[in-house]
Structure 1
Amino acid sequence: MHDSATPRLGDQMRRLRAERGLSLRELARVAFYGKSYLHELETGAKEPTQQAALRIDGALGADGALAALAQTGVRRRAVIAHAGIAVVLPEAILDYGRRVSADVPRQIADRTARLRRIDDYLGGADTYQMYTTELDSTRRLIQDGSYPDRTGRALLSVCAEQAQMAGWAAFDAGRYDDAERLYGTSLTAARDAGDAPLAGNAMAFLAYQELALGRPATPTIVEACETADPTATPSVRALLHMRRAWIHAVHGQPEDAERHLDIGVSCLTDQDDRPEPDWVYWVDQQEAEIMTGRCWTVLRRPLRAIPVLESVLRRYDDTHARDKALYLSWLADAYLDVNEIEQCCVTAEKAVRLSSGVASVRPKQRIEALLTRLAPHAELTCVAALRDSMVTRSAP
């Protein structure tokens, strides 16, 4: 699978070198590397070590931009390697001819579970192609393979999961048309599989899409909960009700938001002997606290939001950089609501720093919205510093 981090670093090297009027030979002299090696880095033929990236960064006065790109590439490769994802795609695991054995859906589901965890560490622009390639392969297997009905339904369920993953990656990368199309694919597959909870989750993703595009999302999230609730496991019900709470909060409906937050939290303590689907592996008490803090922030109840978000973010791992940056941005919003401008800026700066090099449009969107709210305080040193940091770290 092609790693896009290195070519981006090469493009940046070439641009900076041109701006400074340096030939490859001249850069080689100041960076203490061979001309041919630098040419291979610029063309993507070789991947830079972190030490090489730092030295070239200094020689070109890139202020850490090249080093950050190299680190992103290293992180992406390390995450994928740690997940243990082989090159083999679903359509390549057939036994003989086009026959699909009964254990193939489980094999694909296990692989999909490993791929899903990569989203904890990488942004959608890094995972989109990976996820869509898996989805396309499974769809070809469904179309061309030979199998009994039970196996077919299992294949459709895992296809629905993969389409949700690909849709989420598209959404995270700002590819909203692709996201909506993929969520629709997931909903159709889940319905054909007779998997009501998975269909409900596809509707919840569509509701988030509607929310992001400024369209009414309440009818869709209500239908999502009604579709899934009768047969859903506790964690699935918790997830959908917390997502419903968020949509009510954004629409300025505090009573509905609080009611569904309470339902979601209560679901997490329900006893049920059925195994939870892997696609809710991350739904826990910590997620409930984060959603609670976000809801109270958007409802402009900062005195309720701040203690919750401060507590949970102290325990939240920096390796989950995109998500922690997003949650820090909500905490910064809450600080602004109580006129704690410096604390707002300090918190937002942490978000900017964490999200630097993460292939997601959402942290930048959140910080840009916060800077708009900070406009009346533009003369303050901390606000100017935050704006400068945003510009520097967002530079292509």
Structure 2
Amino acid sequence: MSAPQPYPGLPPELVASPEFQRVCRERDFSQVFQFAKKKAGVYPSRIAALCGMTPSRVGEIMSGRRSLAHIDVIERVADGLRIPGAMLGLAHRPWEIPAGPAVAEQAPGRALTPPAEGGATQESTEPSGIDDLLTLADGKVTRSTLVALQSSVEDYWRRDDEHGGASLRPAVVGHLRYVSQLMRGADGALRRDLQSLAAELARLAGWAYFDARQYSTARTHFTQALRLSRGQDDYLFMANVLSCMSLQATYDGNPTDAVALACKAQDSARAAGDQPLVMSMLHMREAFAQAALRDSMACRQAIDRSRDAYELARGREAEAPTWVRYFDESKLIVDTGIALARLGESARAEPLIAEGLRRESGAQQRGRAFHAFWLATAQLQQGNLDAACESAGMALDLTASLDSPRVAGHVREFHRRLAPYAREAPVITFEQKMRDILG
């Protein structure tokens, strides 16, 4: 059986037609899908595969029985059918923006075209973008350039941890494009180091878009990071990227994919040698995904493996990659509680999450906000409304200093769960605080 042909996008004459532009502007996805079927021969099953939906959901949308309003799904439609973002009221999509050929943006599953030996490319056109012109003016890339760029990445991660990643997106993507251009003028060891830096920037961009709940764009950048690290056989970094993609799949309602990605990350880490702290974190990623699948036995087994690997890592933290050292004993404890809370085992989850929160550093604003949300969830599951609203209030206070739609989304999700108790005093107080902080 032959492989399916790459999707070329909708015909230009369809995209340019006033009728299609109108239904896109109105976000009438029933008509968008009808046009794709009738004018481009893209049938519902293909639309479903391209846009990350089930065929039955596409059928319901086409018949008008269901609509699309969630921004993440609309982004998937734009990226899957290659509809320019502006036509759907979105920002420019990553695939619309030209990038340097060495690390060009691509949709998930599309291979990058490798540059020629020594960094030369097949293109001979004159550079016209501002990034190209500035890079030409910089002259030869030096080792000090690389050191300065690495310092910027470290600062981005610090700011992400303290304040959230959403506001970092333009700067990180700009740096990614800049490094892509620098790779043109480098060779040998310096080029390899720039490629590693580009992979880290792509992962950081993916994480920032994930924190902004723009999952389709995040997946594009994570895929780019994975391809760049694979080109260097950097198995630990590949495990890192796969773990991010597993967590995103759990958030995006694809727990089966999340399990597969976590297990693949574990395989990649094993290929890199003895890395118990990395394995401990990756087993916990699997536990989250198994909990989302409601497979309690598999979830507990993953938690046990995470704990066992952590015991092997004690005293060896300095040997682990810097990106995983955040996974300390406090994180192990609180993540165990979160996995149990996802399973609905709130009585076991609450003391673990509370202990993790007690131990955590005050500088970990976003992490503490997430953990306060999960503590509130466990308390609400047990019917302890006063404590749940107090913990959710803590999450709100921390959210006030963050630019993280993912955290704000958790808080709003908790608020929806309070609907049956809308007239209770703790809920009224919480709602007032929520209006003051989130609007």
Q: Alpha-carbon deviation of 1:301?
A: 0.9
The alpha-carbon distance between structure 1 residues 260 and 108, as it changes in their structure 2 partners (threshold 3 A), is farther
Aligned-partner SS, 2:319: coil
Aligned to 1:252: 294
Percent identical pairs in the alignment equals 25
Match of 2:372 among 307, 321, 328: 328
Deviates more, 1:180-189 or 1:151-160: 151-160
Once the two structures are superposed, what CA deviation does each residue of 1:57-83 show, in whole Å capped at 9, x if it has no partner?
A: xxxxxxxxxxxxxxxxxxxxxxxxxxx
Distance 2:226 2:306 in 1: 22
Deviates more, 1:330-339 or 1:161-170: 161-170
Q: Alpha-carbon deviation of 1:321?
A: 2.2
For the aligned residues, what is the CA RMSD? 2.7
Q: Does 1:145 align with 2:185?
A: yes
Q: Alpha-carbon deviation of 1:99?
A: 5.1
Distance 1:382 1:212 in 2: 28
Distance 1:281 1:334 in 2: 27
Distance 2:326 2:278 in 1: 11
Distance 1:157 1:380 in 2: 54
Aligned-partner SS, 1:304: helix
Aligned to 2:408: 364
The alpha-carbon distance between structure 1 residues 207 and 273, as it changes in their structure 2 partners (threshold 3 A), is closer
Q: Alpha-carbon deviation of 1:211?
A: 2.2
Aligned-partner SS, 1:121: helix
Aligned to 1:203: 242
Distance 1:93 1:289 in 2: 47
Aligned to 2:171: 130
Q: Which amino acid aligns with 1:291?
A: D
Q: TM-score, normalised by structure 1?
A: 0.70
Distance 1:384 1:337 in 2: 19
Q: Does 1:302 align with 2:346?
A: yes
The alpha-carbon distance between structure 1 residues 214 and 276, as it changes in their structure 2 partners (threshold 3 A), is same
Distance 1:273 1:302 in 2: 31
Count of residues in correspondence between the two structures: 303
Matches within 5 A, 1:183-222: 183-215=222-254, 216=256, 217-222=258-263
Q: Does 1:166 align with 2:171?
A: no
8 Å contact kept, 1:153–1:192: no
8 Å contact kept, 2:230–2:238: yes
Matches within 5 A, 1:232-251: 232=273, 233-251=275-293
Matches within 5 A, 1:104-119: 108-119=149-160
Deviates more, 1:331-340 or 1:251-260: 251-260
8 Å contact kept, 1:113–1:279: no
Q: Does 1:98 align with 2:98?
A: no
Q: Which amino acid aligns with 1:120?
A: D
Matches within 5 A, 1:306-317: 306-317=350-361
Q: Alpha-carbon deviation of 1:213?
A: 2.1
Aligned to 1:180: 219
The alpha-carbon distance between structure 1 residues 369 and 356, as it changes in their structure 2 partners (threshold 3 A), is same
The alpha-carbon distance between structure 1 residues 160 and 313, as it changes in their structure 2 partners (threshold 3 A), is same
Aligned to 2:399: 355
8 Å contact kept, 1:93–1:104: no
Once the two structures are superposed, what CA deviation does each residue of 1:22-80 show, in whole Å capped at 9, x if it has no partner?
A: xxxxxxxxxxxxxxxxxxxxxxxxxxxxxxxxxxxxxxxxxxxxxxxxxxxxxxxxxxx
Once the two structures are superposed, what CA deviation does each residue of 1:200-224 show, in whole Å capped at 9, x if it has no partner?
A: 2212222222222222322222222
Aligned-partner SS, 2:213: coil
Distance 2:180 2:322 in 1: 20
Aligned to 2:303: 261
5+ residue gaps in structure 2?
A: 1-130
Q: Which amino acid aligns with 2:206?
A: G
Once the two structures are superposed, what CA deviation does each residue of 1:117-154 show, in whole Å capped at 9, x if it has no partner?
A: 22221112222222222222222222x12221x44333
Aligned to 2:162: 121
Q: TM-score, normalised by structure 2?
A: 0.63
The alpha-carbon distance between structure 1 residues 333 and 259, as it changes in their structure 2 partners (threshold 3 A), is same
Distance 1:190 1:364 in 2: 32
Aligned-partner SS, 2:271: coil
Q: Alpha-carbon deviation of 1:174?
A: 2.0
Aligned to 1:293: 337
Once the two structures are superposed, what CA deviation does each residue of 1:87-124 show, in whole Å capped at 9, x if it has no partner?
A: xx9x9999x943555x7656644442333222221112
The alpha-carbon distance between structure 1 residues 145 and 214, as it changes in their structure 2 partners (threshold 3 A), is same
Distance 1:206 1:349 in 2: 30
Once the two structures are superposed, what CA deviation does each residue of 1:342-389 show, in whole Å capped at 9, x if it has no partner?
A: 110111111112111411112221122212222222221111221222
Deviates more, 1:315-324 or 1:367-376: 315-324
8 Å contact kept, 1:294–1:305: yes
Q: Alpha-carbon deviation of 1:320?
A: 2.5
Matches within 5 A, 1:36-75: none
Distance 1:362 1:231 in 2: 32
Distance 1:178 1:378 in 2: 36
Aligned-partner SS, 1:120: helix
Q: Alpha-carbon deviation of 1:312?
A: 1.6
Match of 1:342 among 369, 376, 386: 386
Matches within 5 A, 1:76-95: none
Distance 2:241 2:337 in 1: 24
8 Å contact kept, 1:170–1:179: yes
8 Å contact kept, 2:135–2:181: no
Aligned-partner SS, 1:229: helix
Q: Which amino acid aligns with 1:138?
A: V
Deviates more, 1:198-207 or 1:151-160: 151-160
Distance 1:188 1:339 in 2: 47
Aligned to 1:156: 195
